[in-house]
Structure 1
Amino acid sequence: MGARTKYRKRALDVLFESEMQGLSLGGSLPERLVTNHPPINAYTVTLVEGVAENQERIDAVLSQHARGWTLDRMPGVDRNLLRVAAFEILFTEDVPDAVAVSEAVELARELSTDDSPSFVAGVLGAVIEGKAAQSA
């Protein structure tokens, strides 16, 4: 597992944990930074804070492209994987869109349901198409 893959997985852990504890998105990050177990890298912090700061826009984009699925109805792992990847697609310049999708699909394969990898790939493909249409 590559370094950035680990950082994405840690970001997913923090986001999922925050939801399960009824905290705001990323609300468990300060405690995780204090304990630093497992270690929290700067890129993990960037992802968690970026998702939290842009949650409204990210969730709106995901809702638009997740045909037939509301965010609340999605498995928590899928929802937060999509948020991390959508943040990288929409708000970062140093991660190619295809890498964000590939990483999210691989984590979905490892951590979620059998149907999740294709679902995640489909939603993120639509996000990329929507981004391209807005740029044109």
Structure 2
Amino acid sequence: MKHSGTRHKARNRAVDLLFEAEAKGVSPMDLIAERRKIFVLDDSVGSIHDYTAVAVAGVAGDQAQVDAVIASHLDKWQLDRLPAVDRAILRLATWELFNAVDVDPVVIVDEAVQLAKELSTDNSPAFVNGVLAKIAELAPQVRAAAAAAPPPDSGDRAPGGHE
């Protein structure tokens, strides 16, 4: 299946930025800001799609929780021992599964598997699919809980909502 849509390209760019930020030990949000500044002067770097920025900000903001969810669904693997591109794909997809309520979880898993086919090892698509299939089972409950929670600016704090 060929994935050439705007959202797929935005996800691909998000994975690239998450991967690069981890490799360089910098904030992915700093990379986005840097790229947006450069784009004004040199459009060869490419613009940052709004969805890319939202997804990267979401992953960066929730990384501890996202990583904890992924780590708890790894069988005989440790998150820090996975290929870095697989970590980036899993982080993006896990964040999307819990937060991108406009996208069906099946589509999110399919997109992640496609990104693994395009960007990672021969074994990665099946691995990514297996991990995300387990995480996707949680998505409806997490999405429902988030929808029922008071807005962040209401002053109420959800249990566990602090770092």
Question: Residue in 1 aligned with 2:13?
Answer: 10
Q: Which of 122-131 and 51-60 deviates more?
A: 122-131
1:35 aligns with 2:38: yes
User: Is the Cα contact below 8 Å between 2:105 and 2:139 reproduced in 1?
Assistant: no
One of 77, 83, 99 as aligned partner of 1:69: 77
Unaligned ranges ≥5, structure 1: none
1:66 is paired with a residue whose SS is coil
Give matches, 1:43-122, under 5 Å: 43-122=51-130
User: What is the deviation of 1:95?
Assistant: 1.0
User: What is the deviation of 1:133?
Assistant: 6.6
TM-score by length of 2: 0.78
Unaligned ranges ≥5, structure 2: 40-44, 145-163
Q: Which of 79-88 and 30-39 deviates more?
A: 30-39
Report the AA paired with residue 49 of structure 1. Answer: A
- Bigger-Rg structure (1/2): 2
Q: Superposition RMSD on alpha carbons, in Å?
A: 1.5
1:28 is paired with a residue whose SS is helix
Q: Deviations over 1:54-106 (max 9, x none)?
A: 10111000000011111110101100001111111011211110111000100
Q: Deviations over 1:9-31 (max 9, x none)?
A: 01011111111111134442211
C-alpha distance in 1 between matches for 2:126 and 2:134: 12
1:68 is paired with a residue whose SS is coil
C-alpha distance in 1 between matches for 2:55 and 2:130: 21
User: Would you identify which runs of 4 or more consecutive aligned residues in structure 1 move more than 6 Å?
Assistant: none
Identity %: 45
User: What is the deviation of 1:131?
Assistant: 3.6
User: What is the deviation of 1:118?
Assistant: 0.3
1:21 aligns with 2:29: no
Report the AA paired with residue 56 of structure 1. Answer: A
